[in-house]
Chains A and B, each alone.
Chain A
Amino acid sequence: MNAPSNDWQTCFNELAPKLVLYARQLVDKVSDAEDVVQMAFVRWWQRNPGGDRAHVPLLYAAVRTISLDLRRSDTRRANRELKSDVAILSEDAPHFDPALEDRETTALLEKAVRELPPEQREVVALRIWGGLTFAEIATSTGETINTAAGRYRYALNNLHRALAPYREDFGAMILGDAAPVAA
């Protein structure tokens, strides 16, 4: 597919927030997550110059692989923090852009997501914000489809339990933001 060379910007702007969010489930710091996304996106785009959306699962797989490599080595992270102002972002930087009226509920939800076991958090990030199917998640993570679906189900159950005390707070958010979806 032939595409103008600046098409990567459109594709990047669309995917980068989701990719960084996913990478943050795998590495500790924002600066590391952005490093990972930088490397993964550049490699992916060079192999897939049109930015074909059918190959997005490969991009998530690349993010995962690079994240795991990065976790094994602390050297690169130390260098990056020394030379870049990105280092001022701490690992406590919010994962989401909260709407003004929902700032508190967003914080509650984000905290609940962060407290999920890492493997469940990863599947939730890929499924909800990455928009991947369970088959694609299985390919990206190297697990079976059943494992991916099971982790997702456990994650939702855990979130349900964690957020139950705040049901009243989330009721307005649900009604205000989205129409109910049949179970």
Chain B
Amino acid sequence: MTSSGTLAAARLPQPPPVRGSEGRALALAGAAHVVLLVALSFGWQWTSTPLPAVDEIMPVEFVDIADAPRVTQPPEPSIEAAPQETSAPEPTPPEPAPEPEPAPVPDPVPMPEPAPKPEPKPQAKPKPAPPKPEPKPLDTQTLSNLINKALPKAPTKPLNTSDLAKTIQAAQPKNAAIDPRAAATLAQAIRAQVAPCWNPPIGGADVRKMTVLIGAEFLPDGSVTGTPRVLGQTGTSGQNGDYARAFAETARRAVLRCSPLKLPADLYPLWKSVEINFDPEQMT
């Protein structure tokens, strides 16, 4: 993205004005015919007549504009005057990577997949486990990090182990009391609100095999807190990394755009933290 290689085409000769040259071109064409007659009695020929040289393709050179701070966090109130990002034509040194150190996201948490609770999914095919049959699987961990890295730091820590343990303990007794149909209804309510916000790039060549799992935390008023994170992705390969990233971002954007969700307050413990799997297979 910040490559500073010069991609500019060499500047080619300026063309003579096209209209003005028609008379001359005519004369030349006539002359060429004579040449042709002669030439045709030989073997393979490359006869040549001049046409206006057209090339007003202006050279465009790529330069870094890297000396400006990159927005990866919500704007802070006071910033020291940003340096002008209008660097001189000569390539500037490689941009200081703005990497916040790999976020301590407990990324692809090995989820005990299909929850034993049979969610009565209306039309969902039972997906035992996201298949990863790609010959050259992309490192999804890297991809997730790449996507998550650009995110503003969530005000709430996504997960730490003690929180997690607490959550689980808190949820367990409740869980026993919760009607699985309530969970299903809740999932239905979330689906109904998030799906209309999801605009996946369905024209992409690899979209049919792609899914992305997003983790989102909600406040009691139904609004998303922090930025949804990519927990895992299928259908990625070494060839489609850019597409996979754009695809995952559409899912993240869907959750953000639909915030706040309208969900039953009494079930908040159940939807405080949600995993949403986006699968466009049936869309195309």
Partners in one complex: no
